[in-house]
Chain A
């Protein structure tokens, strides 16, 4: 199957007086149509930068991105984006916020049809009764639901999620994960999500991409999560493989994230309580467990 999204040696560098500061270096990833892929990594490793480049909100400084057979480097409504903060416009109601995008994409449809589309997605995310409320009158979780509805209502080729549940409490988070999975299943939408939550990554994704620490972050390891769909949280938690996946991810984040495979540095034996400091990778890591 041809990939819907190809990231080929995607790089991001900022010019500084001391030479370019490389945030992301030669990030390679292909997404199959309908796949749910999660990028996981430590905060500040550049995972959001990757997503931002795919969304077209940050300029790509090296490599290329091919979306549905076409090279792209600017933003567009063919990629629905859900940001960490919902980014709703506070002077518009939930409905108007969704309509803003719908009007833009379906300008040929009648006003009635566009309204129905927006209403449909707002109802699906569970906001049927709060469509005419302003973001200020909604809870954080409800605002994020509007954000999800807005992204899906565009009926994009791809969905990009930048830590969409990072600011929510764990109960709301689990609720919204279900909402997201249900929408994803119905729409067969290729999804790329950034998170630092290991359980979230396992529950939602087909594949989890682990990123090495920045600067010069790249793909460290990829883990396939072959749980059958539709998934139920209880079944997954009961599955013996769950703990294996979880340990795999945690082990990477805690012990291997500073090692870059392309350089294939000799692994430093971790003995005693000595902190490992690799001048090339920067962050000062203390071995855990």
Chain B
């Protein structure tokens, strides 16, 4: 037992046990295919596949693996618009998320600063923010479609490179992901120690200098917490958005495979979304901790 602790095996072994338990539970409730060959009334031999189990249509772990293999083994393949390797889908989703996320930061950070600096601004806009904040991405997307209807940016060949649905997608991601940035920036600005503001006052720093030399550096750790939470939300929203507008990406793939009764690929998509979301969060935490110590 002592050796066990010394090698820190528990932090490796325990998650592994939990994983096996989950896989076992999954295998238990998933359906099993049984293929029978029968001779029907016409005298022909027919193979019949029936699925039985607690959730008959749920593919088992092995079935999921076999069905997902082509997407994982060739992660960058492009066989068709909605039949691409899983990394390629991830890349497409990430690209859209990045655009919407930066839009969210670009709008959210200044709003956060105004909220943090002005009590009257907070009094005026806080009720609106509190009402808009819990609105689901599914509700924003149609509004985005209306807002940007008829929008078209064409390339040299006359093909649409950026249309209404793209604009609506960006709008939805930005407006949903913005709130943590807005609120955390506001808290960070309000938390700037009076001592630092006194330094600015004594030195008669200009407004811009106070902003860049004192307010932003001081609020940065809070802002980064907001940025990290915003990225998490942006990644949540992307799936819903892709499902609704049918864009290729992890979410689009998920919805298409559901419609194609290819249930194993739904699980593949879910796991991909989870893993990518986890990696994004870890990466942001790393950057965040770097700013916290500085």
Min C-beta distance of B29 to chain A, whole Å: 54
Q: A89-B214, A89-B217, A100-B213 are in contact. Are A75 and B204 (CB under 8 A)?
A: yes
A-B contact number at CB 8 A = 47
Type the 1/0 row for B190-229, where 1 means its CB is closer than 8 Å to any CB of A.
Answer: 0000011011011111000100011001100000000000
Separation in Å of the B30 CB from the closest CB of chain A? Answer: 54
Of A85, A91, A92, A100, which is within 8 A of B203 by CB?
Answer: A100
Contact A91/B294 with A57-B198, A85-B195 known, Cβ cut-off 8 Å? yes
The one of A57, A80, A105 in contact with B201, judged by C-beta atoms closer than 8 angstroms, is A57
Contact present for B202 and A91 (CB under 8 Å)? no
Q: Inside 8 A of A56's CB, which chain B residues have their CB?
A: 201-202
In the complex formed, the residue of A with least CB distance to B220 is A91
B202 touching A57, Cβ below 8 Å: yes
A262 at the B interface (CB under 8 A): no
Give Cα A76–Cα B294 distance, bound, in whole angstroms: 29
Contact between B202 and A79 (Cβ–Cβ < 8 Å)? yes
- Find out whether the CB atom of A83 lies under 8 angstroms from the CB atom of B198: yes
Indicate if A101 sits at the interface (CB-CB under 8 A).
Answer: yes
Chain A interface residue number, banded? 20 to 34
Please state if B198 and A91 are interface contacts (CB–CB under 8 Å): no
Q: Which residue of B lies closest to A81 (CB)?
A: B202
B207, chain A: closest CB distance, angstroms: 13
Determine how close the nearest CB of chain A comes to the CB of B144; give it in whole angstroms: 39
Q: A273 contacts the other chain (Cβ, under 8 Å)?
A: no
- CB neighbours of B294 from chain A (8 A): 91
Say whether A77 faces chain B, with CB atoms less than 8 Å apart.
yes
A85 to B195, CA, bound (A): 9
A275 within 8 A of B: no
Q: B198 contacts A87, CB within 8 Å?
A: yes
Q: What is the CB-to-nearest-CB distance from B271 to chain A, in angstroms, rounded to a whole number?
A: 40
Cβ–Cβ < 8 Å partners of A87 in chain B: 195-196, 198-199
Contact with B along A96-123 (1 / 0, CB 8 A): 0000110011000000000000000000
B203 and A104 form a contact (CB under 8 A): yes
With a cutoff of 8 Å between Cβ atoms, the chain B residues found around residue A92 in the complex are 213
| Smallest CB separation, A54 vs chain B (Å) | 12
A60: Cβ under 8 A from any B Cβ: no
Q: 5 pairs across A/B with beta carbons < 8 Å?
A: A75-B198, A75-B204, A79-B202, A87-B195, A101-B203
Residues of A within 8 A of B (CB): 55-57, 75-77, 79-81, 83, 85, 87, 89, 91-92, 100-101, 104-105, 154
